[in-house]
Amino acid sequence: MFDLHDPASLGFDADRLARIAPFLTEAYVGPGKLPMAQLLVARDGKPVHHVNLGTMGEGREDLREDALFRIASMTKPVTSIAFMQLVEQCKVALEDPVTRVFPEFAGLSLYAGGGGSIPFMPGRTAASMRFIDLLTHMSGFTYGLQNRTNIDALYREHNFDFARRHLDSAEFVDRLAKLPLEFDPGERWNYSVSTDVLGIAVERISGQRLGDYFAEHIFGPLGMVDTAFGTNDQNHARLVDAYQYQPGKPAKLLDAGPASGLRKPGRFDSGGGGLVGTLADYHRFCAMLTGRGELDGARIIAPKTLDLMTANHLPGGADLTQLSESMFSESQNAGVGFGLGFACVIDPAKTLMPASKGEFYWGGAYSTAFFVDPVEAISMVFMTQVYPSSAYPIRRQLKTLIYSALSDSRVPA
């Protein structure tokens, strides 16, 4: 399926790359911690190493090369790119107040107490929220899965995290607008439904449903033929089973691919986590990022726009240890900042793993992950399907294995 290039010609030690598959087999796939694993490592957008292990799921065949995965929050970078395409066209600006597109958000208040069986106490009016606050997760919104506060509990009650089946985008915004914010926009960082709101902004500004916008402006030009919100009758058999982590035990079945409701049309295209796609497709997205916004002649985003997106936008150059309120996100915190839709490495030494300054990445709740290192022109895409992604240190381990196989660094001596 992949035209693999000679690792040595692209600065990798083939024997060291060959350590990855045995490690995944012995540590994860063999013991049943992960039911399957797919990996692709590339340099300059050219694949140098591919791994395909495990099965499609419970009682199913060996893992297909063209298997479909729930990529969850790896949808967020796609939504962020889509929004920035509209910024490039001056249809919207990062500093614009979100009320320009969402009049429903006028007069949002801050949390001042209450919740659960007690009504929310009236709080003061929050500072104005800008679109950059959505991109950076500094909006004051949250996720029900954070499971920390009374506001999180209300998000779970509304099932905002899984809105596909029961809300359309207008209902999503209307319900969200009735809840208080956790903090003033721009004040702190909290992983949240911000990117779902951003996706609805793309819909309102473009006049297209989000999946249609993606298909026309990102997936079509990049040749990402298998990525969409949900599946259909033609490709549904390629959807892998999803699993739930169990401490000390093999993962248990959470959503069987053949029976999954993802075949049914959704009411809501979740810009924060709704896409289903293949390893090959997401590799093409990462190859575009490695190519500074272009792949095979298709320009998706301008190089300077991508530079802006992958720079640290946390106030004062802080990292996430200083500003994050989240119990859970798809990021390490030490030495890591946050840009416009991506986590970004600002101090490799503090991450305690091999990395380059300026590397950017994200992952999904089912333990999928990617990173792009613009200094070394390396990208990685990893697919599996176990929830939550905090279950195992697999991302750290994969980065260690990949960088330990790099024999020709492009960092000046």
Tens of each residue's pLDDT in the chain, 413 residues: 789 999 999 999 999 999 999 999 999 999 999 999 999 999 999 999 999 999 999 999 999 999 999 999 999 999 999 999 999 999 999 999 999 999 999 999 998 877 766 677 778 999 999 999 999 999 999 998 887 888 888 889 888 888 888 999 999 999 999 999 999 999 999 999 999 999 999 999 999 999 999 999 999 999 999 999 999 999 999 999 999 999 988 899 999 999 999 999 999 999 999 999 999 999 999 999 999 999 999 999 999 999 999 999 999 999 999 999 887 788 888 999 999 999 999 999 999 999 999 999 999 999 999 999 999 999 999 999 999 999 999 999 999 999 999 999 999 76
Whole-number Å distance between alpha carbons of 267 and 48: 39
Query: DSSP label at 381?
Result: E
Structure-block tokens of residue 161: 């995290």
Q: Name the DSSP class of 216.
A: I
The β-bridge relationship of strands 386-387 and 242-246 is: parallel
pLDDT of residue 75: 98
Cα–Cα dist 368/330, whole Å = 10
User: Which pLDDT does position 61 carry in this prediction?
Assistant: 98
**Phi then psi dihedrals of residue 383, to 5 deg:** -125, 135
Neighbours of 317 (CB within 10 A): 11
| CA-wise closest residue to 381 among 277, 228, 234 | 277
The reply to whether the predicted model has a pTM over 0.85 is: yes
Among 296, 274, 276, 278, CA closest to 287:
296
Between helix 194-206 and helix 169-177 the angle, nearest 10°, is 130
**Alpha-carbon torsion 188, 367, 46, 413, what sign?**
positive
Query: Would you state the pLDDT for residue 117?
Result: 63
CA 405 to CA 16: how far, in whole Å? 5
Q: CA of 234: how far to CAs of 32, 174, 263, 379, in Å?
A: 29, 35, 10, 30
Task: Say if residues 98 and 134 touch (Cβ distance below 8 Å).
Answer: yes
* CB atoms inside a 10 Å sphere around CB 413: 3
Distance of CA 193 to the CA centre of its chain: 12
Contacts of 395 (CB under 8 A, 6+ apart): 363, 369, 382, 389
> Cα separation of 255 and 253, whole Å?
6
Q: How far apart are CA 390 and CA 363, in angstroms?
A: 10
